[in-house]
Amino acid sequence: MAVSTEQKRAQFRSLHQSGCFVLPNPWDAGTAKMLAGMGYKALASTSSGFAWSNGKPDSAVSCEDVLAHLTALCAATDLPVNADFEAGYSGTAQGVGANVRRAVATGVAGVSIEDATGDPAAPLFDVDVAVERIRAARAAIDATGENVMLIGRCEGFLLGETDIGKVIARLAAYSEAGADCLYPPGVKTREHIELVVKALAPKPVNILMGAPGMSVSELAALGVRRISVGGAMARTAWTAFLRASKDIIENGSFAQFGHAISYAELNGMFAAMAKEEPRP
């Protein structure tokens, strides 16, 4: 029996109550199904991974395309899905609220809103404006009556604001404005993670692991509640694709295919998930 959207949302919220879980980031139905079959407890979309799969750079995909993508991810598995909803796809708080309400309708269990403007000259929204946008997202979710979590993201460490005190102050303000979970991508040292977790307790904290570093158990010991990988899985897949493509065009060699999973194994995995026999 399929898991209902209501059940997915309840399961997602319960994951944030204790322990630590990894939230991997698929970029299409196939990767979502594979991750679900491997035993992960929840998934999150990746704006970059989805954009690249459509031949576009990150943040160059329309809100309409993202909403359709989220609908497809939610339908692909019985796992709850957290939406990487960037800055809400609007320059105004009212627009953020309207778009978040549409995101809720896709079936997602969580919506992440970041404070990046996309303007290199002023990369972060002023704090008051960013807080207003979080409040609008919170009000939009509440108006639906749905049990959807709101994640407040501070992009400071990715965009040049590396004063941990200022980043924590922003996250605390987002928490006060209604964010259920706080996310400071780019924060990676033990000292900084401990400061963030302590300052924002009891709200759960999400840490991004897009490169080698601390393990799941080490992050859990610091009090991190959830870990996401952003576009790292997509980058890993693209790396293999590019290596094989370059080897063919530059060297006339097919050697990279020797590292690939076999057709039978990969097809068999998808067939098993679909409860079908693999074709010969």
pLDDT digits over 218-262, tens only? 999 999 999 999 999 999 999 999 999 999 999 999 999 999 999
CA distance 43 to 45: 7
From the centroid of its chain, how far is CA 71?
A: 15
For residues 198-216, average pLDDT: 97
pLDDT digits over 22-43, tens only? 999 999 999 999 999 999 999 9
In this structure, are strands 21-23 and 43-44 parallel, antiparallel, or unpaired?
unpaired
Buried b (16+ CB within 10 A) or exposed e, 130-160: bbbbbbbbbebbeeeebebbbbbbbbbbbbe
Answer whether residue 18 shows pLDDT above 90. Answer: yes
Answer whether residue 74 shows pLDDT above 80. Answer: yes
pLDDT digits over 82-117, tens only? 999 999 999 999 999 999 999 999 999 999 999 999
Helices (H), the chain: 5-15, 29-37, 47-53, 63-76, 93-104, 127-144, 164-176, 190-200, 216-221, 232-251, 263-273
List, in order, residues 6 or more apart from 194 with CB less than 8 Å away: 222, 223
Q: Which amino acid is at 238?
A: W
What pLDDT, on the 0 to 100 scale, is given for residue 57?
97
Q: What is the pTM of this model?
A: 0.95
**Helical (H) or strand (E) element with 58:** none
For the chain, domains (ranges, CATH) are 5-230 (3.20.20.60), 232-280 (no CATH)
